A and B are shown apart, each in its own frame.
Chain A
Amino acid sequence: MSSLLTVENVTVQFGGLVAVDKVSLTIAEGEIRGLIGPNGAGKTTLFNAISGLAPTRSGRMIFAGADVTALGAPDRAARGIRRTFQTVQLVQSMTVFENLLLGLHSRADNPLAALFVGHAVNARGATDPMATITRVLDYLDLAPRVDHLVSTLSIAEQRYVEIGQALVASPRLLMLDEPTAGLSPAQVARLDDLIARLPADWNVSIVLVEHVIPLVVKLCHRITVLDRGRVIAEGTGEQIENDPAVQEAYLGERLNA
């Protein structure tokens, strides 16, 4: 597996607080990477740094062979870095279909033509966006909901729409920020199943932030553990579970006593 994303010594600082401290990691093509750590470890900030939302103080990021450190979030999204959020960030007053169209914003449509024929014209002659949207809707079992307002959907369905909004853009890297938050155990199981299939079906790498450790261990090829902004461990699920530094970060001094 060749590497898709390389993060080198990235530091994010808010005033005096170093939220992400010289973090380095490499995500391979087709990999599902878990990102765990106690509250305040810097998981979401690292997500924001990779998506281009949080300004980095030092370090660099190489994505698909190109240095993207200086690029803003929209440019990174256009290159195939997509994400979801801890709290669903969809336009509630739009339908499922319209929200999926939002995910296609980076396509190089002729802006004037786009004004009058929607997304019919594509400068580079890529696949028909409607075909992609149809495929995503079917894949996520959202077809019956296509014309429904997002505000009328359950949280679980909204999370699928958010994943769909990323998938329509054919991303290379999909970052999921606690996608199972607020879901029932049955819904979590279904979502796990979906995440496990994504890399093979959509040719995408996944980075997953999650609190439920057994779930991460089950899903992820490799896991990176953050604590106070630093990487304290990286390895397979089994290695992580037996790592004393990880146990200390999660359980504190009590374990050592």
Chain B
Amino acid sequence: MRTLLQNNLVWLFFAGTVALSFTTDAYSQYLMNLVLVYVVIGQGLNLILGFAGMFAFAHGAFMGIGAYVSALLTAKLGVSLLVAMPAAGVAAAIVGALIGFPALRVSGLYLAMVTLGFSEIVQWGIKHWKSVTGGPDGVSVPAPVLFGHRFYGDYPTFYIVVVVALAMTLLAQAIIRSKLGRAFVAIRDSEIAAQCSGIKVARTKVLAFAISAFYAGIGGSLFSLTQSYITPENFGFYQTTLHFCIVIVGGAASLAGPIIGSIILTWLPEVLRNAQALQEIGYGLMLILFVIFAPRGIAGFLIDKGILPRERFSLRRPSLPGRSRPAPQEG
């Protein structure tokens, strides 16, 4: 029973959100939509930060690119969301790959600096390209029309968000269990050893950037749906820090991590709403505490306790006669 639960946590979580959606008021539904948006972005950031071990500090910008591409295509050109959302992801992925190439030359803190600088440029660009983006005033986001049905309001939006978030989470799981996911982890642990196993490090890193940015782009498109309008201020340093908190607090290099992190970091600001100043300090403090005392986050703790299963990096398992029971879980 327990293994059955453990093996289907993804489905359980998403079934839970659907069940809860029958009990929520509009505002809690809006918060739940936000959680799911951040699940998408968190899974994407986790792929590059948690699994591939690269300090990409630009997901606010990738998210912004996705949100603006999606909102502008639907609002100004009347493009269907079925086209606009993938376009948002692809646009972010292309930009992600482009920033990935110069980023090959640096790692660690320097990579964080390069990507942070890049995201400031993107935010500046959105703010000043007024003829297209509307500048600081932002863009209003129309309710999408899909299959002749207008998805207006928090509940209809939920159905779009939950389907996309589920698909993106399953995709992240498929990536982690494929040779690509194993290559990410191998590069994180030792680039030299990875090369000697036949892994092309540069190519894999650029791919990590592109895929991760794709997730942020899709997340940005979803985010725009939850808002009536978007402004450049939505996609700044604060946003990127939030994404980092989601992955680090939730648990890097674990599929459950971004889900846990998204719930906590969407709920926490609500608790602290009367103390706005505490929010940003709170994020910073939380990041510091977790990095020092629990670098694998809440998910890492739950995996050590055997409550969550450890992350698997393969789809198939060998069928060997007389195979022993798996070792006690340890990370």
Contacts and interface: CB of A to CB of B under 8 A. Distances in A.
Interface string A100-112: 0111111001010
In the A-B complex, list the 9 residue pairs whose CB atoms are closest, starting with the nearest: A106-B198, A89-B193, A118-B315, A73-B195, A77-B198, A148-B327, A147-B326, A118-B316, A98-B313
A143 B314 contact: no
A118 B177 CA distance: 7
Given A114-B178, A151-B330, A105 B316 contact: no
Given A89-B192, A91-B189, A152-B330, A146 B318 contact: yes
A169 B179 CA distance: 14
A165 B192 CA distance: 15
| Size category, B interface | 35 or more
Interface stretch (B78-86, B153-161, B180-188, B277-285): B180-188
A144 interface: yes
B105 interface: no
Nearest to A98: B313
Given A74-B198, A144-B324, A94 B318 contact: no
A82 B193 CA distance: 10
Interface of B: 174-175, 177-180, 182-183, 185-186, 189-190, 192-201, 253, 310, 312-320, 322-328, 330-331
A53 B179 contact: no
A133 B174 CA distance: 21
B327 A92 contact: no
Contact of A72 (B190, B195, B310, B331): B195
A69 B180 CA distance: 27
B299 to A, nearest CB: 13
Interface string A127-149: 00010011001000001111111
Interface in A168-185: 169
A97 interface: yes
Contact of B317 (A91, A92, A97): A97
Contacts of A78: 198
Contact of A98 (B182, B197, B198, B327): B182
Contacts of A189: none
13 contacts: A53-B192, A72-B195, A94-B182, A97-B317, A97-B318, A109-B179, A111-B180, A114-B179, A114-B180, A119-B179, A143-B323, A146-B318, A169-B197
